[in-house]
Chain A
Amino acid sequence: MNDNNSPKFAVVGHPNKGKSSIVSTLSHNDSIQISSRSGTTEQADHFTVNTIKGSYDLIDTPGFQRPLRVLNWLEQHCNSASERAATVAKFVADSECKTQFKDEVALLEPVIDGAAILYVVDGSRPYGSEYEAEMEILRWTGQPSMALINPIENNDYIGEWESALAQYFKSVRVFNPMKADFEKHIELLQTFTHLNPKWAHVLGSIIDDLQNERATQQTTSVSILMHLIEDLCQYQNCQKVLSESQAKLIKPALEKQYKAWMKQREEKAIKELLTTYAHYQTKVSLDQFDLPPDLFDCDKWFAWGLDKKQLIYAGTAAGAVSGAALDVAVAGSSLMAGAIGGGLIGAGSAWFSADKLVDIKIKGLPLGGYQACVGPIKNRNFPYVVIGRFIHLFKQISQLNHANRQALDFNASDFQDKVETLEKIEQKELHAACARLIKQKPVDSLSEVLTPLFND
């Protein structure tokens, strides 16, 4: 069906051992059905991994159901070892076999068509001799093959499997479709290049492309955050009214709309982030995530944004004229941190208090009437809170494998540590940028300022 030069891999094995999971993770496709029920995949499904310079096919297949009887059939229809591959082809073409052994026909068809074999087993359960028949059938096809041990629950039987599989497969790898990180994907693809020398070149280009794409995804994520934070810091909700008292009356409604808008805007950014990493099925609702659900829950702000000590430092750094002044400030901030409770830095209270968060502003209009406005937000920790939450999500989503369908799990943030790991100059730029953002001033170098936060 597609030309013979394009690499193809049929993922085969026992039912319910994670074949679809492996295809899902490798093809970055989260719409492939995965279920704890065996027999989920009922026919061979082709998934093409497309990059700029090439493409390869992954074929998800149903599991073996009657390997022993199929092997019997093959043995009965084969006269010599040289005819084994042809016998399997005959099996696949045989109309009676198509009804009697539909799973085996479906899974062997792509192999006869030229696909290499990826044989999947579960490394958390013991090896059993009942697996021999299916491995033998695969050997009959004569196609290049390798085995993947998926440690579904644990690593207990990996060693046992390795020695059993070594008798049938030249190459045996451990690959966990739920947890493997990007480097592991690439490593696996690199072992694929050895399966068929004809494919080595195109697979090599695909690996390059995937690595470039990964970098692009990060750049895109940075600009998603950039737009998010600019929008959130800029937003204002205004309404025209007739009298001052009316303006005060609509304050709660305005505030509610304001918060709803901010929340939706943040959700939109998370959706964009998910789309960037090709996660289309993950539902986004901030309440559903294990996030502090409310962007305006100021008690949580020191967890998501900067802590008080860092904020003092930030305040100094953003306005600092010289490196020396900055260093004094850092030393001083640890001393000052202790004294905050006493209101030592009275003037700087806007950094900490949340009451001025979104004040209502009422002004008279030239042609009569009044305008009541809520926002833009004043609190200087706010940009950090937005950045902190987003970076936290970014880490989850950029690492999320497509086989992993569980809701994202968010633990406490370490944004503050992240900020600490930045170079001094990077920190200073971040603080300066946040100081401008909260005043609704454009920050030209925002993406350069934010990028270090996205790096590991």
Chain B
Amino acid sequence: MQSEFPSINKEQAINLSKPIMFIGFLCGLLLSLGVLNGDEAGRVNLLYLLLVYLFIPLFGAILSVLSLVQGRGLNIARLLSALPIWSQSQQVQLLKIRQQKFDKYWFFLQSQAAALAYSVASLLTFLILLLATDINFVWRSTLLNAEQLQPILGAIATPWWFWEVAQPTSELLRSTQDSRLISNYANTNSFGQWWAFVLATQIVYSFILRGALLAIGTTLISKHTKKETEKKAPRTQQRMEQVSENHSYASLIHSLPTEYTLCNWATFNTNILQQLTLSPKKALKAGPSVAIDTHDALDEPLLILVKAWEPPMGELQDFMQHAKGIIFPINLNNKQAVAPEEKHLKEWQRFVAQLPNWAIYVPESMDKQ
């Protein structure tokens, strides 16, 4: 049964979704090509680059972390999952993830995978274009000047403080400010110098950041699936011992011997006794509520009257052990003596079968009832 409906194990859970990664890769590729393409002079706007390589990845990362912490986990991957592009088997997979209650983590993980693919695509595009074409990094702004921009870019570049070339200097900023009205450049050399800063931005804010988040996502899911399997550990099932239902049953007799001694073990009252129309040779007083006397050396068989509905007890068995005779189980219905119920009779038959010198009496007249 267990194998029929397998739940998702850890390995499957941390498997990265290829379609989601593909979509991420595609976005990275298209956006990078878009912004790096530049104009006919190969000029690309540094601020657009920052939008694609810094702002989008960083904003996305913050969003996915926030939604993970906050609750539902609304992120790129979850939005993508709502698209009608998924095959039936992928949908089944998604359903299982939801049912096992780690969809929040799973979508988080897949979002990081998508972002990582995005980052790889943009890195590749960037490097290839750096090699194959001349990219001229410029920046344009109506409101900002170089002195205002420098501290912001400087702050962005703090993680790679050790990499001189990749630091934005005021001087570089001044020399690469562009206006579409001016077409003569003093020093075309400096336009290429931004590449290191842009590359470092991509590596730190997109690649490394998302790589780290991916690792966190994987750990979260591993922990969750481990907890799940521990919870699922089968409860100790109590085993039912099988009772053998092989019993022997004493046979029934329907007539009494001519001579017997009556023993009213059940202490039925005279009203009942009269209904039974018995003619014993003599009567013996014995029973569970009467002290048991010596009853040895009885020549005639005993006829013991018992309540059919009460189970036979050890006391009676002790009493019967040293004698011989007949058990007469009687049921009462509205103060009328009637034949025992089937299940009670069976009980008496099992009981008497263990005692060699005994039989069970059910009168013909009663049997019919």
Residues of B within 8 A of A16 (CB): 311, 347
Q: A63-B313, A129-B267 are in contact. List 10 more A-B contacts (CB 8 A).
A: A14-B310, A31-B239, A37-B350, A40-B243, A66-B313, A130-B289, A231-B95, A268-B1, A271-B1, A442-B95
- B270 interface residue, CB < 8 Å from A? no
Produce 1/0 per residue, A228-260, CB < 8 A to B.
001100111010000000000000000000000
Measured in the bound complex, the distance between the Cα atoms of B4 and A268 in whole Å is 10
- B263 CB → nearest A CB, Å: 14
Residues of B within 8 A of A451 (CB): none
Q: Are A238 and B314 in contact (CB under 8 A)?
A: no
Produce 1/0 per residue, A24-42, CB < 8 A to B.
0000011101011111100
Interface residues of A in 104-146 (CB under 8 A from B): 125-126, 128-130, 132-133
- A65 interface residue, CB < 8 Å from B? yes
- A103 interface residue, CB < 8 Å from B? yes
- A390 interface residue, CB < 8 Å from B? no
Which 9 A-B residue pairings sit nearest by Cβ, starting from the closest?
Answer: A65-B314, A38-B311, A31-B238, A130-B288, A16-B311, A15-B311, A31-B240, A66-B314, A66-B315
Q: Are A133 and B288 in contact (CB under 8 A)?
A: yes
- B88 interface residue, CB < 8 Å from A? yes
- B164 interface residue, CB < 8 Å from A? no
Produce 1/0 per residue, B59-102, CB < 8 A to A.
00000000000000000000000000000100110110011000
Q: Are A275 and B235 in contact (CB under 8 A)?
A: yes
Residues of B within 8 A of A30 (CB): 238, 240
Measured in the bound complex, the distance between the Cα atoms of B155 and A346 in whole Å is 68
Measured in the bound complex, the distance between the Cα atoms of B88 and A175 in whole Å is 53
- Size of the B side of the interface (Cβ < 8 Å), in residues, is 40
Residues of A within 8 A of B307 (CB): 128
Measured in the bound complex, the distance between the Cα atoms of B80 and A170 in whole Å is 70
- B230 interface residue, CB < 8 Å from A? no
Q: Are A280 and B312 in contact (CB under 8 A)?
A: no
Asked if A103 meets B314 with Cβ closer than 8 Å, knowing A31-B240, A132-B289, the reply is yes
- B345 CB → nearest A CB, Å: 12
Measured in the bound complex, the distance between the Cα atoms of B269 and A36 in whole Å is 28
Q: Are B315 and A65 in contact (CB under 8 A)?
A: yes
- Partner of B5 from A125, A130, A238, A265 at Cβ < 8 Å: A265
- A69 interface residue, CB < 8 Å from B? yes
Measured in the bound complex, the distance between the Cα atoms of B343 and A31 in whole Å is 23
Interface residues of B in 316-362 (CB under 8 A from A): 317-318, 332, 343, 346-347, 350
- A210 CB → nearest B CB, Å: 17
Q: Are B313 and A15 in contact (CB under 8 A)?
A: yes
Nearest opposing residue in chain B for A64, CB measure: B313
Residues of A within 8 A of B292 (CB): 68-69
Interface residues of B in 263-280 (CB under 8 A from A): 266-267
Residues of B within 8 A of A376 (CB): 88
- Partner of B238 from A29, A126, A226, A265 at Cβ < 8 Å: A29
Measured in the bound complex, the distance between the Cα atoms of B288 and A125 in whole Å is 18
Q: Are B347 and A37 in contact (CB under 8 A)?
A: yes
- B296 interface residue, CB < 8 Å from A? no
Measured in the bound complex, the distance between the Cα atoms of B310 and A68 in whole Å is 16
- A67 interface residue, CB < 8 Å from B? yes
Measured in the bound complex, the distance between the Cα atoms of B54 and A324 in whole Å is 51
Asked if A33 meets B243 with Cβ closer than 8 Å, knowing A65-B315, A103-B314, A268-B1, the reply is yes
Q: Are A128 and B310 in contact (CB under 8 A)?
A: yes
- A264 interface residue, CB < 8 Å from B? yes
- Partner of A230 from B99, B243, B247, B343 at Cβ < 8 Å: B99
Nearest opposing residue in chain A for B311, CB measure: A38
- B133 interface residue, CB < 8 Å from A? no
Residues of A within 8 A of B267 (CB): 128-129
Asked if A68 meets B238 with Cβ closer than 8 Å, knowing A14-B310, A36-B347, A38-B347, the reply is no
- A218 interface residue, CB < 8 Å from B? no
Produce 1/0 per residue, A281-308, CB < 8 A to B.
1000000000000000000000000000
- Partner of A234 from B1, B91, B332, B346 at Cβ < 8 Å: B91
Q: Are A129 and B243 in contact (CB under 8 A)?
A: no
Nearest opposing residue in chain A for B344, CB measure: A36
Nearest opposing residue in chain A for B347, CB measure: A38
- B39 interface residue, CB < 8 Å from A? no
Produce 1/0 per residue, A48-77, CB < 8 A to B.
000000000000000111111100100000
Residues of A within 8 A of B314 (CB): 65-66, 103
Measured in the bound complex, the distance between the Cα atoms of B266 and A36 in whole Å is 21
Interface residues of B in 235-257 (CB under 8 A from A): 235, 237-241, 243, 247
Task: Show 7 residue pairs from A and B whose CB-CB distance is below 8 angstroms, ordered by the A residue.
Answer: A33-B243, A36-B343, A36-B346, A37-B347, A126-B332, A128-B266, A129-B267
Measured in the bound complex, the distance between the Cα atoms of B235 and A415 in whole Å is 32
Residues of B within 8 A of A67 (CB): 288, 315
Measured in the bound complex, the distance between the Cα atoms of B312 and A64 in whole Å is 11
- B309 interface residue, CB < 8 Å from A? yes
- A43 interface residue, CB < 8 Å from B? no
Q: Are A35 and B243 in contact (CB under 8 A)?
A: yes
- A171 interface residue, CB < 8 Å from B? no
Residues of A within 8 A of B88 (CB): 234, 236, 238, 373, 376
Q: Are B95 and A230 in contact (CB under 8 A)?
A: yes
- A390 CB → nearest B CB, Å: 16
- A205 CB → nearest B CB, Å: 22
- Partner of B95 from A65, A234, A280, A373 at Cβ < 8 Å: A234
